[in-house]
Structure 1
Amino acid sequence: APNAAAAPRPAAPAPAPSVPGKPAAPVLKPTVPGAPAASAPPAAQPSATASTPGPSATDEISTLRQLAPVMKAQNHFERLGLTEQADAGAAKIAYIKLARLYHPDTLPPGAPPELEKLKAEVFGYIGDAYRTLTDDKARKDYLEGLKAGADGKEEVDVVAILQAEERFRKGCIFVKSRKYTEAVSIFDEAIQLNPAEAEFHAWRAYARFCAAPDKKAAQPEVFRELQGAIKKNERCAPAHYFLGVMAKTLGDTSGALKHFKRTVELQPDHIDAQREVRMAAQKK
């Protein structure tokens, strides 16, 4: 697995050049409130934010070392702390709670490589379970497989997940440097390695929009990709923010405000979206 230093997901970039002003970059933090349900797998508490691993990071690594093999041996329902009677709504709630603890965004700057690897593995199991149990057909097929005697366990490619995150971070750096074409290529690689990650699709769509010489002509395809990201994860704040940026760029003020408000609902500390909402209120 790669040994690149882990860092929280990069902040959303400034809007495309055609948007007036240059807002400060927001900090993308986990936006899902709550903690795992009592029936969920044992949870490691997020480690302290430090450049070198302290006792909390050591404790978390120890906990994750025990949790990873447990999750590997579980089926999708067990991984989310659910019974086989749980519906898609229960799976979403369980996923949201667990994502707050195990999503790659929760890694502190300078996290040790082993912590990065373990979180990627655990979150991979959680993500696989979520995608299967929230899709009606996939859930039905999965249940039938369990009843037929299948163990319901799937392998997670930890190396691919880590490589995808590394490429994603590189793509975001290209976006901030306004190297949009290069960013699209890097995001393509990240999506190839981990196609289920909604943020990858959202950022690629935004890079495509920024790279397009004719923004109006590019809008339909970019809109579809951003909506696809939201379908993968309805709480994907960057997708909503980028929809707002695109709408504002094309002169749809009311549409932009709607998306910016939704961004703030999902991520209350999103500085750029907050500013856009305040500016809109001041103009009234």
Structure 2
Amino acid sequence: MKQQNHFQRLGLSEQTEAGPVKLAYFRLAKQYHPDTLPQGAPPELEKLKAEIFAYIGDAYRTLTDDKSRANYLEELKSGGAGNEVDVQSILMAEELFQKSCILVKARKFPEAVKMLDEAIKLNAEEAEFYAWRGYARFFTAADKKAAQPEAFREIQNAIKRNERCAPAHYFLGVIAKLCGDATSALKHFKRTVELQPDHIDAMREIRMATQKK
């Protein structure tokens, strides 16, 4: 994989559009995600799976974002495309990100923000990191109304980096709902499901909003 380009890593041709890229990524992610290892698996196998997962994740992020994809195709044409990936930094950032998600779900928001700060230092290109940090920062604030604009700015930054970042749209929906803007919240939840049809939380929010009407 070290010698392959992003398309090759996902088993795709350079003409492949964003939709099949997403399908290829999810298929490979199910196979190579470090969490799929059984308990007691050798550390060498865990490291190998983590490296492969980092490669396919980098390929997915690049090829599903229109701007990044166009730039990458230009690099391929010129023969200078980036196989030079700092895998170690990506792996460390991904590990910090996974831990921060657990902290957010445990409502340990300040700790999550610090961990996401470190993840972004290691891999500043990952849109999802900014989405989760903006969301966590919102919940660290005592005054949620006052915190909303800054949280929105950071999550919108994630969307600018990758418009198809489903968690970012979902987080915008949650924050809008908590701040009393049900119309915007519903719009964001619907966009989340458009991007990720199996997003259970967004589907539940849409169902609840529909029942209230």
Corresponding residue for residue 181 of structure 1? 110
**Cα RMSD after superposing both structures:** 3.0
Kindly name which structure, 1 or 2, has the bigger radius of gyration based on alpha carbons.
1
Amino acid at match of 1:171: S
Corresponding residue for residue 168 of structure 2? 239
Distance 1:96 1:175 in 2: 25
Amino acid at match of 1:108: T
- Cα drift, residue 76 of structure 1: 4.2
Aligned length: 205
Are 2:55 and 2:87, in contact at CA under 8 Å, matched by a contact in 1? no
1:213 to 142, 147, 162: 142
With the length of structure 1 as denominator, give the TM-score of the two structures: 0.60
Amino acid at match of 2:22: I
Q: Does 1:192 align with 2:192?
A: no
Which has the higher mean CA deviation after the structures are superposed, 121-130 or 213-222? Answer: 121-130
Distance 2:156 2:143 in 1: 20
Corresponding residue for residue 138 of structure 1? 71
Are 1:203 and 1:239, in contact at CA under 8 Å, matched by a contact in 2? yes
1:93 to 7, 19, 26: 19
Q: Does 1:82 align with 2:10?
A: no
**Pairing of 1:50-199 with structure 2 (within 5 A):** 71-80=1-10, 81-83=12-14, 86=15, 90-103=16-29, 107-108=35-36, 110=38, 112=41, 113-129=43-59, 131=62, 134-135=66-67, 138-139=71-72, 141-143=74-76, 145-146=78-79, 150=80, 152-199=81-128
Are 2:131 and 2:167, in contact at CA under 8 Å, matched by a contact in 1? yes
Unaligned runs of 5+ in 1: 1-70
- Cα drift, residue 178 of structure 1: 2.6
Distance 1:82 1:153 in 2: 16
Once the two structures are superposed, residues 35-86 of structure 1 have per-residue CA deviations (whole angstroms, 9 ceiling, x without a partner) of: xxxxxxxxxxxxxxxxxxxxxxxxxxxxxxxxxxxx3223345445324xx3
Amino acid at match of 2:195: L
Distance 2:123 2:77 in 1: 26
Unaligned runs of 5+ in 2: none
Distance 2:211 2:195 in 1: 22
Distance 2:13 2:48 in 1: 22
Distance 2:203 2:169 in 1: 13
With the length of structure 2 as denominator, give the TM-score of the two structures: 0.77
Distance 1:75 1:170 in 2: 29
- Cα drift, residue 129 of structure 1: 4.5
Change (3 A) 1:194 1:91: farther
